[in-house]
Amino acid sequence: MPKTIRSIIVGMGGISRTMLRALAEKDWHQAAAVVDVNEDALGRAGADLSLPDSALFTDLDRAMAETDADVALINTPSEWHYPQTDAALRAGLSPLVAKPLSNNFAHSQALVALAADCGIKLAVGQQMRYFRHYLTAAEFVRSGALGDVEQIYFFNAKPRHQARNLVGFEQPVLWEMTCHHLDCLFAVLPELDPESVICDGYLPSWSVYDSACMINGLFRFRGGQHMIYHAGYSTQSDCYELRLEGSKGALRCRGLHMSKNEMIYEFAGRGEPFAVVDLDRGRPPTIPWSLFFDRWQEWLAGGPNADEPHFSGRNNLKVLATIDAAIRSLDAGAFTPIAADDRYAAVFGS
């Protein structure tokens, strides 16, 4: 990977604009071309990035054929991720794909296998774990103040009363939201190894979605940990709480949403009431994409034997396998195995 990384940006929605604000501060990045089916979006992108008309495309294949680039930033609806990432890999580009890698576990496995065959590093945009409160919670767990964490409560739902591109999407919460939740959970508790899951999905009467936009779930992990899980897009007000209970006490982190740096922390020793603690003292708010991109560039530049980060396509299969099992549990109405299931054996080394 050269010192200056030239990118083709595929899809100029909100995610790309947020990413580009963080990349503008990196002297190693240069936008080489933009692809979007919307002519107005292309025009705005060209003006914002000072790109000529010859660098603006409505067709990805043409953009890759006519642009000297190193990576493709793919930020399109997830049903397009598989064909676009497949094309980028075959063109020799290193893709960074918005979460989820795809909305089909078998397709995600195929992309990871293709990247390995091509000797190309495939990454997934799992940046949420770099928000300050996840870094803080992980540090608190490592301090030993909670002892051995055995019970987890993860609640994150929001009042999205405009479904936008997810209106007809099947399992929008599990594919588009739970992928972030699980990655952040594995950042705080990296020893977690999913054993089985059962989920219930439903639609509130006021929901604008076509399929289950609210999820309640129970997760079991092979180390004996258990998680109560609630997530969705059709609450009447914001809901966020991460609660970790261990052998020595409990930590509660509450706020509006996972994508906020402002949180209230409360700690309770064993059998004692919660009290507010200022765990963020001395830790400034973070810009998750900036931290993510530093790690991404380091990995791209590190050679074939560089340590593989959590956001590599291969490592992200742990998240996607867990989601796939959760979706299967909705149909089965029963606990569905994960790590011990033949479908996911390669992911978990079972």
Q: What is the CATH number of the domain that holds 147?
A: 3.30.360.10
Residues 175 and 38 in one domain: no
Residues 120 and 136 in one domain: no
Residue 167's pLDDT is what?
A: 77
Q: Is 233 helix (H, G, I), strand (E, B) or coil?
A: coil
Residue 165's pLDDT is what?
A: 77
Give the domain-ending residue among 125, 160, 176: 125
Nearest to 327 by CA among 86, 100, 85: 100
Q: Which two tokens stand for residue 58?
A: 């409505």
Residues 201 and 158 in one domain: yes
Give the domain-ending residue among 125, 156, 191: 125
Q: Which two tokens stand for residue 89?
A: 């890999």
* Angle formed by the axes of helices 313-332 and 179-188, nearest 10°: 120
Residues 55 and 148 in one domain: no
For residue 28, the 8-state DSSP code is T
Give the domain-ending residue among 90, 125, 160: 125
Residue 74's pLDDT is what?
A: 98
Residue 180's pLDDT is what?
A: 97
Q: Are 173 and 201 in contact (CB under 8 A)?
A: yes
The residue ranges of DSSP E strands in 172-213, in sequence order, are: 194-202
Question: How many Å separate Cα 284 from the centre of its chain?
Answer: 22
Residue 123's pLDDT is what?
A: 98
Residue 166's pLDDT is what?
A: 81
Q: How far apart are CA 112 and CA 101, in angstroms?
A: 10
Residue 254's pLDDT is what?
A: 97
Residues 174 and 96 in one domain: no
Residues 168 and 105 in one domain: no
Residues 40 and 161 in one domain: no
DSSP strand pairing (234-246 vs 249-255): antiparallel
Question: How many Å separate Cα 327 from the centre of its chain?
Answer: 17
Q: Is 81 helix (H, G, I), strand (E, B) or coil?
A: helix
Which domain covers residue 264, as residue numbers?
131-288+321-337
Q: How far apart are CA 314 and CA 303, in angstroms?
A: 16
Q: How far apart are CA 185 and CA 273, in angstroms?
A: 25
Q: Is 73 helix (H, G, I), strand (E, B) or coil?
A: strand
Q: Which residues of the chain have pLDDT under 50?
A: none
Number of residues in the chain = 350
Q: Which long-range contacts (CB under 8 A, 24 or more apart) does 143-148 make?
A: 144/248, 145/248, 145/249, 145/251, 145/267, 146/244, 146/245, 146/246, 146/247, 146/248, 146/249, 146/250, 146/251, 147/246, 147/247, 147/248, 147/249, 148/246, 148/247
Q: How far apart are CA 49 and CA 53, in angstroms?
A: 11
Nearest to 84 by CA among 70, 98, 69: 98
Q: Are 232 and 208 in contact (CB under 8 A)?
A: no
Residues 105 and 149 in one domain: no
Q: Which two tokens stand for residue 288?
A: 């998750």
142-190 tens-digit pLDDT:
999 999 999 999 999 999 888 777 877 889 999 999 999 999 999 999 9
For the chain, the first-to-last Cα distance in angstroms comes to 34
Number of structural domains in the chain: 2
Q: Are 296 and 311 in contact (CB under 8 A)?
A: yes
Residues 137 and 179 in one domain: yes
